[in-house]
Amino acid sequence: MLATALAPLANAGPDIDEATSSRPDAGATPATARQVRGLNAVGGTSLGRMSGSVSAAPVAFKAAPTDMVDMFMFEVTSPSAFTAGVEPSTPFETSLWLFYLKPVSGGGFEARPVAGNNAKFVGASYSQVSFPPGSTGYLSGVYAIAITQRGVRPYGYDSSGSPVELFDPPAVDQTGLMLPISTEAVLRIWGGNPTTGGAYGVAVSGATFIPGTTGTGLCGSQLAGSCFESGVAKGCDDVTCCTTVCGIDAFCCGVLWDELCAQLAFQNCVIFECPDPVCPADLNDDGQVNGSDLGIMLSAWGPCS
């Protein structure tokens, strides 16, 4: 009994939900995906479960569809050990889509197809995806999973800009991995006509939170996270704000974008545009209420003489 009690649980890592304080819905592309990261991720905390919800939203061929796709970005530590499986209690028919993320010049990533699945077994409403058996070209690194209702599929563009399938069609019985038609193809849009939706959970093995050393020190790197939230990376996702804050405190780009850096962002990056003609807090009359006005107020702070 003791051995049983001490046995490691499968998927024993911390959970991640699609919603953050600043963004309630995981997007459908790498630029808008929920990044699985957090302060407790330093050192590579294992990822156990991803959760969220998708809704019935009949929209065909949209780069950023209404909530019929939720994408998560995370670190795969061992491609051969990686699996992601929708929980059987998820109340709608699902598909899972695994993408390799290729960095592109200028920042960001292209999502390239790896594998998809509709049904874990014949008749299953839920999906499970892994790397294609025998594939050796996939290394540890940042990957993305998208969950959709079944029937929603990812597409690239052909040379004339028309949508083309990224994956082979599903088997008649919906089981097995759908493999890429071309591993060089790039996710551009999603198509489908989902009529159901609901809350889902996806159990994950062989993956971790994105480590804090990924995308280090790059102002504007989307891996760096929001300027207004503490994170595990150096820098933040807005180039202008990141440059401003790191000019004040080099720690934010040199070591870690911590809570103090997020506070500096609030103090120096949030700009309230003043309506004409009067804005009492615009002390220097430059049309904005920002840190400059706060500085003027603070420099005059104290007892009247």
Residues 41 and 210 sit within 8 Å (Cβ to Cβ): yes
User: Footprint of Ca ion on residues 6-25 (CB under 5 A)?
Assistant: 25
Using the rule CB under 5 A, which residue among 30, 45, 48, 67 binds Ca ion?
67
Kindly state the number of chain residues that form the binding site for Ca ion, as judged by CB under 5 A: 5
Q: Closest CB to Ca ion among 42 and 62?
A: 62
**Identity of residue 170:** P
Q: How many CB atoms lie within 10 A of CB 176?
A: 15
Q: How far is the CB of 102 from Ca ion (least distance, A)?
A: 22
Shortest distance, CB of residue 67 to Ca ion, whole angstroms? Answer: 4
Does 29 bind Ca ion (CB under 5 A)? Our answer is no
E strands in the chain: 15-17, 34-35, 49-54, 69-76, 83-86, 94-103, 109-117, 128-130, 141-149, 153-157, 163-165, 189-191, 198-205, 207-208, 272-273, 288-289
Q: How far apart are CA 69 and CA 221, in angstroms?
A: 23
Task: Give 150 or 234: the residue with its C-beta nearer to Ca ion.
Answer: 150
Asked if residue 238 binds Ca ion (CB under 5 A), the reply is: no
Site membership for Ca ion, residue 86 (CB under 5 A): no
CA nearest to 99, candidates 33, 53, 43: 33
75 contributes a contact to Ca ion by CB under 5 A: no
User: Contact between 192 and Ca ion (CB under 5 A)?
Assistant: no
Is residue 52 a contact point for Ca ion (CB under 5 A)?
yes
Shortest separation between residue 70's beta carbon and Ca ion, angstroms: 4
